[in-house]
Amino acid sequence: MNITAEQPAARVPVTVLRLQGDLDGSNYLDLTAAAKEAYKGGAKGLLLDLGGVPYMSSAGLVALHSAAQLLRGEQPPDPAAGWSTLKSVGIDQSADSAAQQMVKLLNPQPRVSRTLEMSGMNVFFEIYTDEAAALASF
């Protein structure tokens, strides 16, 4: 997977991470690292462009959740914890039924959209098809 970062003009500091390739167990930590770098660089919001991601596994869901935690200033779950990490995603979602506001998704492909829906993560993230609208939402 390839990840590029951009800092477009927005009301608050936002970093757009554009992902190309599958998001799975072989590279999900790359997304977490990129989110951490954006946060350290002053980003108050993160827009994940998933238009180039044809497939996302459960490890990708963990990466999305970890990015949201990082942008809230929290420590993400330990990826070495295995299934308990994925279970913590569900606990966090049920604690707050509204979408969090720090990380938003752009242009998920149909297969990725189904993964988000099946996991319930589509409720946790605001999802956009228009980049300008997504940036204006921060």
Banded model confidence at residue 10, pLDDT cuts 50, 70, 90: confident
Do residues 117 and 127 touch, judged by C-beta distance below 8 A?
Answer: no
- CA separation for the pair 127, 134 (Å, rounded): 8
The conformation of residue 74, written as its DSSP 8-state character, comes to: P
**Segments forming the whole domain that contains residue 111:** 2-136
Residue 83 has pLDDT above 60, yes or no: no
pLDDT at 43: 95
Residues 105-119 as b/e (b if ≥16 CB within 10 A, e otherwise) read bbbbeeebbebbeeb
For the chain, how many structural domains are there in total?
1
pTM: 0.88
pLDDT at 31: 97
Residue 73 has pLDDT above 60, yes or no: yes
Residue 97 has pLDDT above 70, yes or no: no
DSSP string, 113-131: HHHHHHHTHHHHSEEES-H
CATH number, domain containing residue 50: 3.30.750.24
- CA separation for the pair 95, 92 (Å, rounded): 5
Rg of the chain over Cα atoms, rounded to whole angstroms, equals 13
Tell me how crowded residue 67 is: count the other CB atoms within 10 A of its CB. 24
For CA atoms 117, 127, 55, 30, the dihedral sign is negative
Tell me how crowded residue 17 is: count the other CB atoms within 10 A of its CB. 22
